[in-house]
């Protein structure tokens, strides 16, 4: 019996931080405009850090979904808080 193991990892191409940030901001305006006003975005090497407050879990999920769908995002550090 023979075995083949596929250890190939495919990562999105690296994008300059300022271009990636602009793409994310555009996605937030399209998908989560209300929550985007209170979200701070930091980008480094494809890692996106989200901080700030959003009004609800739905808005939080909308923000994270918009960021996740942006080409070039490799990881998300979600530090968003829900307003109480």
* Structure-model confidence comparison of residues 50 and 7, the more confident one: 50
State pLDDT tens for residues 16-75: 888 888 888 888 777 667 767 788 999 988 899 999 998 889 889 988 988 988 888 999
- Report the pLDDT value the prediction gives residue 45, as an integer from 0 to 100: 86
Domain 17-82 has CATH 3.30.300.30: no
For residue 5, the SS3 value is coil
- Report the pLDDT value the prediction gives residue 76, as an integer from 0 to 100: 94
Pairing between β-strand 39-44 and β-strand 47-54 as defined by DSSP bridges: antiparallel
Q: State the pTM of this model.
A: 0.70
d(CA 56, CA 9): 35
The CA-atom distances, in angstroms, between 79 and each of 5, 12, 32, 49, 82 are: 37, 23, 16, 7, 10
> Hey, where are the domains in the chain?
17-82
- Report the pLDDT value the prediction gives residue 52, as an integer from 0 to 100: 93
């Amino acid at each position: 019996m023979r075995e083949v193991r596929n250890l190939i990892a495919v990562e999105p191409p690296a994008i300059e931080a300022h271009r990636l940030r602009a793409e994310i901001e555009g996605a937030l305006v399209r998908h989560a405009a209300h929550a985007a006003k209170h979200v701070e975005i930091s980008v480094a090497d494809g890692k996106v850090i989200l901080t700030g407050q959003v009004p609800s879990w739905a808005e939080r999920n909308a923000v994270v979904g918009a960021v996740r769908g942006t080409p070039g995002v490799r990881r998300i550090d979600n530090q968003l808080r829900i307003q109480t």
